[in-house]
Amino acid sequence: MTRTILRGGTVFDAASRTAGPADVAVENGWITDVGTGLDGDEEVDCAGRGVLPGLIDCHVHLTMTGADLFAAAQEPFSLQFYEGARNMARTLAAGVTTVRDAAGADLGMPVARERGLIPGPRMQISLNMLSQTGGHGDPWWPSTCVVDLLPPHPGRPPVIVDGPEEIRRKIRELVRAGADVIKVATSGGVVSSGAGPRIPHFRDDEIAMMVTEASAAGLHVMAHAHGEGAKAAVRNGVRSIEHGHFLDDETLEMMVARGTWLVPTLSAGVGLRQAVEAGVPYPDHIAEKIRQRSGDSVRRAVEAGVRIAMGTDAPLYPHGENLLELELLVEHGLSPAEALHAATLSAAELMGLESTLGSITPGKRADLVIVDGDLLDVRDLGKRILAVYQDGRAVHVADRNVPD
């Protein structure tokens, strides 16, 4: 068994949110020691470089590409999976070794990765997003056309549901199809045809059923949610609020008291505004929703002590450029170390993976990222990725001076 030492780098300690010089020993895909002067059979010279745990993006859509969602809806059905394979590789090269897919990916994608057919991050999948009739995930448009970005197929059940009993059955179908997490829209959204983010969707008894049935299967619920829809989701026990615009003080207080996570997806807003400016032909009412600013919910959440985990909503900002989110989190009140924590140990805890991922700790998987320069300077961090390791194996090497 080969013992490899990552020698002389500045290692990010996610638990203490600090960084300092250390060696990291890796054997058989696991971290076995962290310290100074470690001995091994092989070495990777990390002098002048930073060593991070594999980063985690808690909100992606790997089968989607680009911000022009209407063009995407006109593509051949199977193209999404070929593009998904490319998006997985781009995400991994960005130092993101684990993701939570928030609708789109089916069970075949993580299985293909696990079998070594395609490179990509570890995955938790939701398959699709529960929506009420006329809700954020309902593909019906006023023209009576259907513009479905996530058309159902045997591995991705249809998800328009109304009432607790429909919800009970649908969650069981999602679990049967391989879902690791249940995704729901408890409010309107920006890029759908219907209500905007301030309009709540689903009633308390419906959201409570989602949480009950998911819990019975050992799963959590993640909620696309804004405003009053977010408040209802928190009140009924969802694990995380995704996006989270227009959160009032009462909602933030509830999130702190209940330990509810916020996944801000700040990159999505940047990407959508850039798409409008570039002339992507959104309908006028959607373009107007995109132009509207969402307030300061994230900064207020940080100040209130809400737990934050990183998520990007890629591809609304491109796959492979996920680490812009770190810069945006800093702009909204986190320190650089806290932003990195949101993308490592916090994200692992949200996803229930903290026992094996999220920090450079003996006994955890050797998912590691080597970066050039100061790892606590998150500006343009994605452009400074030198090497990415999964289970101790180099899966992306940008600098050929870093052995693979």
Task: Kindly report the pTM of this predicted structure.
Answer: 0.95
**What's the pLDDT at 149?**
79
**What's the pLDDT at 293?**
64
- Name the residue ranges covered by the structural domains of the chain: 3-53+358-397, 55-322
At 397, the pLDDT band (50, 70, 90 cuts) reads very high
**What's the pLDDT at 238?**
98
**What's the pLDDT at 399?**
59
Contacts 24+ apart (CB under 8 A), 242-249: 242/59, 242/102, 242/311, 242/313, 243/197, 243/268, 243/313, 244/297, 244/298, 244/301, 245/197, 245/294, 245/295, 245/297, 246/197, 246/198, 246/294, 246/295, 246/297, 247/297, 247/300, 247/301, 249/300, 249/304
Domains 3-53+358-397 and 55-322 share a fold: no
Whether residue 389 contacts residue 395, with contact meaning beta carbons closer than 8 Å, is answered with yes
**Average pLDDT rounded to a whole number, residues 337-362:** 98
What backbone phi and psi angles, to 5 degrees, belong to 82? -70, -45
At 194, the pLDDT band (50, 70, 90 cuts) reads low
At 262, the pLDDT band (50, 70, 90 cuts) reads very high
pLDDT of 110 higher than 80: yes
At 141, the pLDDT band (50, 70, 90 cuts) reads confident
Residue-wise DSSP of 39-96: --SEEEE-TTEEEEEPEEEEEE-TT--SS-HHHHTTS-TTHHHHHHHHHHHHHHHTTE
Whether CATH 3.30.2270.10 fits 55-322? no
**What's the pLDDT at 72?**
77
Whether residue 295 contacts residue 251, with contact meaning beta carbons closer than 8 Å, is answered with no
pLDDT of 400 higher than 80: no
Amino acid occupying residue 86:
R
**What's the pLDDT at 255?**
98
**Average pLDDT rounded to a whole number, residues 246-252:** 97
pLDDT of 60 higher than 70: yes
- Residue whose entry in the numeric block shows the structure tokens 């479905």: 148
pLDDT of 403 higher than 70: no
**What's the pLDDT at 294?**
63
pLDDT of 404 higher than 70: no
Q: Of all residues in the chain, what percent carry a pLDDT higher than 90?
A: 81
Whether CATH 2.40.50.100 fits 3-53+358-397? no
Q: How far apart are CA 404 and CA 240, in angstroms?
A: 37
